[in-house]
């Protein structure tokens, strides 16, 4: 007898154009009086923070900015931000940016009520106490870190990329405002959008998927197919930006409950060893992993092909399923993704060891076709 399905969400979601104007009222309703804003140099230098600081000031909430987050945040950066949080007696965190600032902000909120370093909590369900108030405001449409119960970080000395997974690390509030994504350059728009596509596809074909997550993921795939090209090439199109932000959210709601599959299992080492941007590595590996996984999820691949606009009339299921891979490759080309892993320093001679390590990742058996080390090696070689 199979176990019943569950759908869990800890985070309150506020979503809409100009929703950032409400952040002062939201923070005040949570009894926050002094916040640490966690972000990166790109966001702090773009003017986006004015949309956050002004309503906070109007609500009588003081704020200080920590903008030292890198695109693959390290344990040291998280601990430094957490130390500043403690020293300045903040009572809440507002994380603004892509997945990296949001993951750091989530960790800072947890470390405020749990002793030690972020490295002490790498793993599953190791956090004991609820964190402080954490409001996440994404400026990219891809990671869905604003609603998930995991935060990812690098340990450069160990060349290790790991994560804290715990219900306590999920943000208090996710505030999604597509206006804040309008100035995101084409490259990060592409990479984050293809990251969202990877989330939606992996969650849709996961062995943990069920009707509720299927509905969200398939709709996310459809919207990414409809809006990503426009968002990349005409970034001022608010409809495209809003479509991508909601698609990323829906994919996040899906994989938050199903977890992910082979692509993410493969790409984690590349972030740790070569400091590769997460969205880029996923986008590069996705079609190659899809090709391997196809025999285990033929009917779902047909759905993916249709969601991405392919005409499957008159085709066998197998033929239609192959169009899903082709559609993903075409979308990647249309948004100017032409790179392979080798462009980021990945060498063929290191792939066998990586493949062996990936084989034991918990996400591999969540895939519709379980990969062995030799299969993973073949996927990685194809992605070079």
**Domains of the chain, with CATH numbers?**
12-180 (3.40.50.1970), 186-383 (1.20.1090.10)
Instruction: For residue range 278-310, list pLDDT tens digits in order.
Output: 889 999 999 999 999 999 999 999 999 999 999
pLDDT of the residue at 272: 75
Q: What is the mean pLDDT of the chain?
A: 95
Asked whether 198 and 262 are in contact (CB, 8 A), the reply is no
Residue 384: pLDDT band with limits 50, 70, 90: very high
pLDDT of the residue at 202: 98
Whether 1 has a pLDDT exceeding 50, the answer reads: no
Whether 92 has a pLDDT exceeding 70, the answer reads: yes
Instruction: For residue range 119-157, list pLDDT tens digits in order.
Output: 999 999 999 999 999 999 999 999 999 999 999 998 777
Percentage of the chain exceeding pLDDT 90: 91
Lowest mean pLDDT among 81-95, 101-115, 182-196, 338-352: 338-352
| Interval 109-114 mean pLDDT | 98
Task: Annotate 44-81 with DSSP letters as a single string.
Answer: HTTTTTHHHHHHHHHTT-EEEEE----SS-BHHHHHHH
Paired strand residues for 150: 165
Residue 160: pLDDT band with limits 50, 70, 90: confident
Angstrom CA distances, 139 to 86, 188, 236, 242, 366, stand at: 26, 10, 14, 11, 30
| Interval 346-374 mean pLDDT | 96
Angstrom CA distances, 153 to 35, 72, 168, 233, stand at: 22, 6, 17, 31
More confidently predicted of 311 and 279: 311
| Interval 77-93 mean pLDDT | 96
Whether 327 has a pLDDT exceeding 80, the answer reads: yes
Task: Tell me the torsion sign for CA atoms 11, 14, 18, 22.
Answer: negative
pLDDT of the residue at 2: 65
Residue 268: pLDDT band with limits 50, 70, 90: confident
Neighbour order of strands in the sheet with 123-124: 123-124, 160-165, 150-155
Percentage of the chain exceeding pLDDT 70: 99
């Amino acid at each position: 007898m199979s176990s019943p399905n569950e759908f869990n969400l800890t985070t309150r979601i506020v979503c809409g154009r100009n929703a950032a104007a409400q952040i002062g009222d939201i923070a005040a309703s949570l009894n926050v009086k002094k916040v640490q804003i966690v972000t990166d140099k790109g966001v702090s230098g773009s003017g986006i923070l004015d949309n956050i600081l002004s309503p906070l000031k109007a609500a009588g909430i003081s704020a200080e900015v920590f903008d030292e987050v890198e695109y693959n945040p390290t344990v040291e950066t998280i601990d430094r931000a957490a130390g500043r949080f403690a020293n300045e007696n903040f009572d809440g965190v507002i994380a603004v940016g892509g997945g990296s600032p949001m993951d750091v902000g989530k960790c800072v909120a947890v470390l405020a009520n749990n002793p030690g370093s972020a490295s002490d909590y790498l793993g599953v369900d190791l956090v004991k106490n609820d964190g402080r108030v954490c409001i996440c405001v994404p400026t990219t449409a891809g990671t869905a870190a604003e609603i998930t119960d995991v935060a990812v970080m690098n340990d450069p000395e160990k060349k290790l990329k790991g994560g804290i997974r715990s219900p306590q690390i999920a943000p208090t509030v996710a505030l999604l405002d597509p206006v804040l994504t309008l100035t995101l350059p084409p490259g990060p728009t592409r990479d984050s959008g293809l990251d969202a596509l990877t989330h939606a596809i992996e969650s849709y074909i996961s062995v943990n998927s069920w009707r509720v997550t299927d509905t969200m993921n398939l709709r996310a795939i459809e919207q990414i197919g409809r809006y990503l090209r426009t968002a990349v090439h005409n970034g001022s199109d608010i409809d495209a930006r809003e479509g991508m932000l909601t698609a990323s959210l829906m994919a996040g709601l899906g994989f938050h409950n199903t977890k992910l599959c082979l692509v993410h299992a493969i790409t984690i080492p590349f972030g740790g060893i070569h400091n590769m941007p997460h969205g880029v590595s996923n986008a590069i590996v996705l079609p190659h992993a899809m090709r391997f996984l196809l025999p285990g999820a033929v009917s779902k691949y047909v759905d993916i092909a249709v969601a991405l606009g392919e005409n499957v009339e008159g085709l066998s299921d197998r033929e239609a399923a192959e169009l899903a891979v082709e559609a993903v490759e075409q979308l990647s080309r249309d948004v100017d993704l032409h790179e392979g892993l080798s462009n980021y320093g990945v060498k063929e001679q290191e792939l066998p060891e990586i493949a062996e390590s990936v084989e034991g990742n918990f996400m591999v058996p969540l895939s519709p076709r379980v990969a062995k080390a030799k299969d993973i090696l073949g996927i990685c070689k194809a992605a070079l």
